Chain A
């Protein structure tokens, strides 16, 4: 069934013939329902017509219109049939997926967000990318505690009740793993945007500005230049975070995500939101904040999440996700239906503020046009861009290039590698290229 739907069909758009369930087919075969038998036979005729390339399935018109479908002629399902709603059964291909061979244990692995099929800027919570260091936990929120200690007057303990009583803010921010696009530093390695850029998500987060909690404990701002965030999971992951981001109210101790509580895979019941900074600092299952006067050199800032430079030194405490963009449709592993009009669409983001401009090239970077940004453009959030394109059937190379409000322009692979080499794993924000061949096939290539 999937193959029939997915096969490219030239000029002919497929009618949704496959509405008959196996059960319906059996009923038809047993001759019990003449109405269904008729529609089944005409659906078969429609498919044959598609195969032969005629514009309409039947001379009098589209069978999808002429034969009323079951959903127009039957009683639908009642409210709360599914008390927690689910996507349509036809959407089951758009799910989080692992990249085979990337890791060897699922508890310390990555599942990528299917960017190729998403719209707008909000990632549905169930499709938010996953990265765990020692497996995810579903924590009993009544037993969860947040401790604040270190350079504070009074080290304190907060329950979820305490935290949810405090003033709350809700803000939309992107989160990107520092290793997003890391597989592509040396050469093209993965086929689709899900695997090349899918360690990227964007949600509305709700919670308490961390500054309020630190002030409540009497933080020593004279000496306390850094904070340590620590998780309650097995890995109890820790990261050093600058106090300046706390003081300008950017960092949120969040419990809400897209209107509901955080999902367990994303840190239920509490996670840190550190806008613009790589995902590893957004500590999940947050149990402790310590204020200190020097960085901690924890495992994930001394063994991993360090960027190897060509001179053999590692950059430590790299955090900011610099301006980056990618076209999500059409993108690698997809096929254009035919020549003609396309809405080329994608995402842009910057860890240094708002996106100011996104330019798109259809000729591999010789000429560029500015795309339309969907507003409101928000600080350190995904920004959706769109631009119209008429494909003439000739080979093309699609690229997008983001500029943020600091004036920084997303670099090409050549520019980035000239400074960082090819082995730094993290912070690859190079311009992505998708090659469209005459067949309509879109594939991942790197333009130097």
Chain B
């Protein structure tokens, strides 16, 4: 055996130690016999739905702004607002970008910091991201229900709201690359950082190869002369998190603070008890997603439960009518924002929730 092959074998052995490759009993010549099977073309088509920034994976199709608006009002406006501006359920999609941003590909207000909240269009650099996400995850309560042409249409409408494409635009697989060149924050991303877990950009990966941003030292004594407290907890933030005494153990080296013990801030102590009808119904409403759009006594996207109770007071047929409406969805009674259908909810759950709402949605 030559010296060369010896050192080669040693290197291979060291490599197998480093990777742990020798630890797995992959039987010689057999591999993992009998495990798994080839995927069929139809299976790959059904699941391989991702769309990359180079538009690999983009399905053929097209959709107009006008069609997108119809879909939007029926399926999306509930959560995102008619103009994608709503901040009620999720952070806004539209706003904060200018015509100048479209020219430079950098959203200027991000550097200025003069907007209270970052919208989706202020952040996203790649239009493929929006297509991919709408196709895989939207609408919120019925993900993957939009056909490719519908995804194009909804995206066209969003691009129109963001003033990137005109009212009469039809987005398609043929022109989506041109749209990419107008995305207001298309030049707004950087990968020059040390927080990618693979190899660096110079070796075909991402980033600077793990160089940290900070270089603190483990100083042990007389590390500074003054302790400067920059921020303390505001009273409301403590009160908002409930009775801290109940969030700690009743034994041990510490107790949790009881409300108002030091600051005078008052918090209602929660009493754990068998859930009453009101409590159980509130929990059911929460679980079923009702409270995303309805407040008990305040309007969010949909009307307050107390307003619904007031409107239908004394009407015997209200319960049946509302039960059907929750199930099938509805629009027009309280404004233009539609309530989506709730086909997945159990009938008896809808019935008891409607009865609870009509009785004024009591908390207990």
Contacts and interface: CB of A to CB of B under 8 A. Distances in A.
B197 interface: yes
A155 B195 contact: no
Given A302-B129, A319-B197, A334-B257, A314 B189 contact: yes
A134 B140 contact: yes
B250 A2 contact: yes
B1 interface: no
Given A6-B255, A302-B125, A167 B24 contact: yes
28 contacts: A2-B250, A97-B247, A100-B240, A100-B242, A106-B287, A116-B248, A155-B38, A156-B36, A188-B233, A209-B24, A212-B32, A226-B198, A234-B144, A236-B143, A242-B197, A287-B47, A297-B129, A298-B133, A299-B137, A302-B123, A312-B107, A333-B238, A352-B210, A366-B222, A368-B221, A435-B232, A446-B232, A447-B230
Contacts of B243: 2
Interface of A: 2-3, 5-8, 90-94, 97, 99-101, 104-108, 114, 116-117, 133-134, 147, 149, 154-158, 162, 165-167, 187-192, 194-195, 209, 212-213, 216-217, 225-226, 228, 230, 234-238, 241-245, 247-249, 274, 276-277, 287-288, 290, 292, 294-299, 302-303, 306-320, 322, 329-330, 332-337, 342-343, 351-352, 357, 359, 363-370, 397, 401, 403, 408-413, 415-416, 419-420, 423, 427, 433, 435, 437, 439, 441-448
B87 to A, nearest CB: 9
B247 to A, nearest CB: 5
B94 to A, nearest CB: 13
Nearest to B292: A105
B48 A290 contact: yes
A415 B245 CA distance: 34
A290 B48 CA distance: 8
B261 interface: yes
A437 to B, nearest CB: 8
B47 A312 contact: no
Interface stretch (B110-118, B317-325, B333-341): B110-118
A99 B286 CA distance: 16
Across the A-B interface, the 6 shortest Cβ-Cβ residue pairs = A242-B198, A312-B111, A364-B227, A312-B110, A6-B245, A5-B250
Contacts of A147: 39, 43-44, 47-48
A295 B206 contact: yes
Q: Select the residue from A190, A249, A334, A364 with max chain B CB neighbours within 10 A.
A: A334
Contacts of A419: 213-214
Contacts of B88: 104
A156 B23 CA distance: 24
Contacts of A134: 137, 140, 143
B214 A415 contact: yes
Contact of A188 (B39, B140, B232): B232
A445 B188 contact: no
B35 interface: yes
Given A249-B19, A447-B228, A333 B198 contact: no
Interface string B129-148: 10011001100100110000
Contacts of B218: 357, 359, 368, 401, 403, 409
A308 B261 contact: no
B306 interface: no
Nearest to B106: A312
Give chain B's interface secondary structure class: loop
Contacts of B112: 312
Interface in B312-349: none
A292 to B, nearest CB: 7
Contacts of A447: 227-230
Contacts of A190: 233, 237, 241
A316 B191 contact: yes
A249 B21 contact: yes
Contact of A334 (B111, B126, B212, B254): B254
Nearest to B185: A314
B53 A294 contact: yes
A427 B204 CA distance: 24
B272 interface: yes
A79 B336 CA distance: 59
B205 A187 contact: no
A157 B223 contact: no
Nearest to B234: A188
Given A147-B43, A189-B237, A234-B137, A412 B216 contact: yes
Contacts of A416: 213-214
Contacts of A154: 38
B190 A3 contact: no
Nearest to B193: A315
A319 B191 CA distance: 11
B6 to A, nearest CB: 25
Nearest to A301: B129
A329 B252 contact: yes
B20 A236 contact: no
